[in-house]
A and B are shown apart, each in its own frame.
Chain A
Amino acid sequence: MSLNKNKILIYFFFFCLQAIFGQEKEEAVKDSISPQQLEEVIITGTRTQRQLSSLPLPASIISKKKIQQIGAIRLNKVLEEQTGIVLVADESGFEGIQIQGLESEYILILIDGVPLPRGGNAGNFDLKRIAIGNIKQVEIVKGASSSLYGSEALGGVVNIITEVPKTIKPSGNVSYRIGTFTQQDFNINVSQKFKKVSYSLFSNRFSSKGYDLNPEDNFGPTVNPFENYTFGSKLYVTLSKNIDVASSIRTFNEYLDRTVFVNNTNFGVNGRTKEWLSHTRVNHKIGLNLKAEYEFYVTRFKAIEEVNAPQNIADLTNSNFNNFIARPEIRSTYTLNNSRFTTGVGYKYNQLKRTNIDTPKSFNSQYIYAQYDTNLLGFLNVIVGGRFDNHSEYNYQLSPKIALRYKLTKSLAFKGSVGTGFRAPNFRQLFLDFTNTSVGYTVLGYNVAENKLQDLQDLGEIDRVTVSKEILDKNLKAETSISYNAGFTFHTKALKTEINFFRNDIKNLIDTQIIARKTNGQNVFSYKNFDEIYTTGFEVNGSYNITKNFTASGGYQLLYAFNKENQERIKNKEVFARDAITKKTVAVTKSKYFGLVNRSRHNANIKLFYDWRKAKANFNLRVLYRSKYAQFDTNGNNLIDDYDTSFVNGFYTLNTAITKTFFNDFNLQVGANNLLDYTANLLPTLPGIQTYIKLNYKF
């Protein structure tokens, strides 16, 4: 294992040397005064190039320039400063994204239009995994988008668009950044464009010594030391006037060694994550109006944990996770006058081998989608689309969507959309077979529950089955949502504002249920569709150019997120809470029901960006506010009410960064996150003020 690690390190250094010295003779390209801001183009909303401002969906773009100015180096930092987006850490400390009150599992993360593997056994998509040194922009479309993207696109889609080579002279950058907790980031980018071939190379090393917020306890650091490497390469070839090919490979390797404290002894656990993604797309102009894209995408995500312990230490076992996805897809777009007709057909193979799932399991799904995007009468844009997903393990899904934009005046427009989203049951929910060796409980995936339960019964481990057989005979359904968005946009040259009201109704949420009781007193769990939740509220965004060099922006989201069944139970006066101080039991009234965990009622931000051209410097200040939220139930009624004691009070985070350009090609950036030094026991992801300094050489 350490050999492998060294190999990668050596490769990395060679790569760096090559990049630095290989380009020595090249004359630095002068960065001319920033070009006139072009109309921003977004691809995520329709899978075709669309002007952001004319899209009838709630969408936004974060540009490379903004990302660099705020000193973000991983995707989590980019997203957390956006209005209506909240990052929530799970038990492993992975920060997942929450959009419109829907959590990480319901948000699809794409890179150049193809899904990044979710990774890991459970919990959040770890956004920290994604290096963003080579990207052009991050696109966010809110609301359900399963009509184009299928499973998991309920709350929204985040699409990372990588940079495309532009000049015949090699261009790129080398940067090094060091910050609090010895967090180091080393980045190299090279790209070049010839007449028919262009390429780009990207390389990143990221590491940290970690930190320990509770040094007096025995549980080791809050965040363990780690190092990871991301490599990306992209090749573009023009084969003929009508055909060009883009092919990319991205790899990610992470080493995270930690110690686990069991039976008063520390044991080492070596963690290793290996991920690669290969994506090839052929663009084919078939005629004047018809374009086709043939896409093939393959990815593998492997996570291994090895325990350095003598055999038979209860609880400590090696774990293994190996997910492979292959997906060919063909798309076509037919353009006629004011309309565009897009279709797509694809096949997805998804295989998982992991600890606690017997044999490798695979999903096969086929899908087809179509979308009609038309401009009527010059002021009305209508998009109608739908997707059909067939799946080997659960019922097919049909996901329609309709959206429209009505231009009321030159600067004022109405936008509205209704769409559906779904999330397929995952491998764990269908196939898991896990018994906790120390405590003795068992969790079974839905599809294997009946047989595995029989096995346990034959072994005499089952005291009594608590559900009827018929329940286990049915299919576990996909979680589905309907999402509504409506609002206005008002754009002038200096002022951009918009407001969007949203509502998401989700049903068939999958959760655990007890299916049997074991003779050892523990339970056998499986999964079940039951809860219905909704999230609703609105989002306002505004940005104003005070002067040519000074921009102020602000955003606010109001959010209500509730479980419908719990609301019904509260209405029927069936829910009680115990006051933590008086120990008296009281009925929970409607106004005392706070809603779902980790949801803040209010989120707001104010950002100031100042471009001091004379000094070749820019400066920014960003204030983020998140109102109080609760992390878990503390008083036994399984919901969050005002009597619970796990609330994190509302707090502000202040982030700032200054960048100064030297000798035309060098940038020095100094920044600080969480300048107000906000900390809370319950928030391991906010360990006080974090500062950094970064040097960037651009060529």
Chain B
Amino acid sequence: MKKLLILCIALNLSLLTSCEEDDKANVNEEQTLVDTPDNKEEVSETNGVQLINKEIINIPAPQTGGRGVPIGGEFTKFDFETGIVTTSETDWDIAFRGTTIALNGGEVTGTNDEPARNGNVEVSVVNGTFESVKSTKDLKFEKDGNGAFGIPTGSNNGWYNYNPATNIILAIPGKIFIFKTRKGNYVKVEFLSYYQDQDNTKEGRFYSFNYVLNQKIGSTSLAK
């Protein structure tokens, strides 16, 4: 990390922008995709609506290429209903590769090694604290397709923000993502970190996030 930082400073004499998305590129591609035992789960029930609150830690999202070479590599697929990473071609909601997040809804965008879409997952973004998002009413949802991801890529466009001064990718605080899962349930997600153990000095391409899932199909409530 620091190595790259210094390199960037030394080499890109003229520029303020540097090395985006190239942080800690040396992720071990053979990482086994297992659910981390640290993940916490809480269930609360009010008026027959069951909300499942989960904290997911260290979902690896390796990618190949970068540094001028076309980006590729399998996306890491995640299932909100089970709360674990899956290799299933169909039973997934969102998938991660580097800083890119794909939805199992809409069309392929055209990037390499993209998973086929066979669900109807949609996403919407709300500004606020995690707790403040209470309902999905009146939200407008997007899917992947038309050459773009439902969660826009690039710094400050979607879920993260890249700081050229530190060469670090940070989840934008206050961006809450509401997904409609392939089963039709609503879930709100807050991304926490892009680094292993939520530590900016460790390896990148590890997602940690909180989510609250309402398992009652069609129910728009996302808080007690």
A residues contacting B by CB (< 8 A) are 91-92, 121-122, 217-219, 260-262, 305, 314-316, 319, 355-356, 428, 432, 434, 436-441, 443, 463-464, 512, 514, 517, 519-523, 525, 574-578, 583-587, 631-638, 646
User: Is B13 within 8 A of A578, CB to CB?
Assistant: no
Q: Out of A260, A443, A578, A587, which one reaches B192, CB within 8 Å? A: A578
6 additional contacts, CB 8 Å, given A438-B19, A636-B171? Answer: A122-B14, A217-B2, A315-B7, A440-B68, A522-B21, A575-B174
Q: B184-195 vs A: 1/0 string, CB under 8 Å? A: 000000101000
A521 to B148, alpha carbons, bound, how many Å?
A: 11
CA A405 to CA B32, docked complex, whole Å = 75
Which A residues are CB-close (under 8 A) to B173?
A: 576-578, 585, 635-637
Contact, CB under 8 Å: B127 / A585: no
Minimum Cβ distance to chain B for residue A642 (Å): 13
Assign chain B's interface to a size class: 35 or more
**Could you say which residues of chain A place their CB within 8 Å of the CB of B148?**
464
Contact of A638 among B21, B71, B127, B156 (CB under 8 A): B156
Residue A441 contacts which of B7, B20, B165 (CB distance < 8 angstroms)?
B20
Interface residue ranges, B against A (CB under 8 Å): 2-3, 6-7, 9-22, 66-71, 100, 111, 127-130, 147-148, 153-157, 160-161, 163, 165-166, 168, 170-174, 190, 192, 198
Q: Which residue of A lies closest to B169 (CB)?
A: A636
Among the listed B18, B70, B161, which residue makes an inter-chain contact with A439, where contact means beta carbons less than 8 Å apart? Answer: B18
Q: Which residues of B contact A305 (CB under 8 A)?
A: 13
* Contact between chains at A520 and B2 (CB < 8 Å): no
If A218-B3, A437-B68, A633-B163 touch, whether A432 touches B16 (CB-CB below 8 Å) is no
Cβ–Cβ < 8 Å partners of A517 in chain B: 153-154
Contact B12 A436 (CB under 8 A): yes
In the bound complex, residues from chain A placing their C-beta under 8 Å from that of B160 are 636
20 contacts between A and B (CB under 8 A): A121-B14, A122-B13, A122-B15, A434-B15, A437-B68, A438-B22, A439-B68, A440-B67, A441-B17, A441-B18, A441-B20, A443-B17, A521-B21, A578-B192, A585-B190, A633-B163, A634-B166, A635-B170, A636-B161, A636-B170
Task: Return B150 CB to nearest CB of chain A, in Å.
Answer: 15
Top 10 closest A-B pairs, CB basis? A576-B174, A636-B170, A121-B14, A576-B173, A632-B165, A578-B173, A440-B68, A219-B6, A91-B9, A636-B161
Contacts of B22 in A (CB 8 A): 438-439
Beta-carbon contact of A436 and B161 below 8 Å = no
Assembly CA distance A632 to B170 (angstroms): 13
B3 surroundings in chain A (CB, below 8 A): 218-219, 261
Which chain A positions have C-beta within 8 A of B129? 576, 584-587
In the complex, are the beta carbons of B163 and A632 less than 8 A apart?
Answer: yes
With both chains docked as a complex, state the minimum distance between the C-beta of B194 and any C-beta of chain A, in angstroms.
10
Set of chain B residues within 8 Å of A438, measured between Cβ atoms: 19, 22, 67-68
Q: Give chain A residues whose Cβ lies under 8 Å from the Cβ of B68.
A: 314, 437-440, 520
- Residue in A217, A260, A521, A635 with the greatest tally of chain B CB atoms within 10 Å: A521
Contacts of B174 in A (CB 8 A): 574-577, 585, 587, 637
Q: In whole angstroms, what is the CA distance A196 to B148 when docked? A: 77
CA of A303 to CA of B154 in the docked complex: distance in angstroms? Answer: 34
CA A515 to CA B13, docked complex, whole Å: 22
Closest to B67 in A: A438
Q: Which residues of B contact A443 (CB under 8 A)?
A: 15, 17
B170 touches A519 (CB 8 A): no
> What separation, in Å, do the CA atoms of A121 and B20 have in the docked complex?
21
- Give the interface centre of B18, B129, B174 by most chain A CB atoms within 10 Å: B174
Query: Which A residues touch B147, using CB under 8 A?
Result: 463-464
Let me know if B67 and A439 touch, CB within 8 A: yes
Q: How far is the CA of A585 from the CA of B193 in the complex (A)?
A: 12
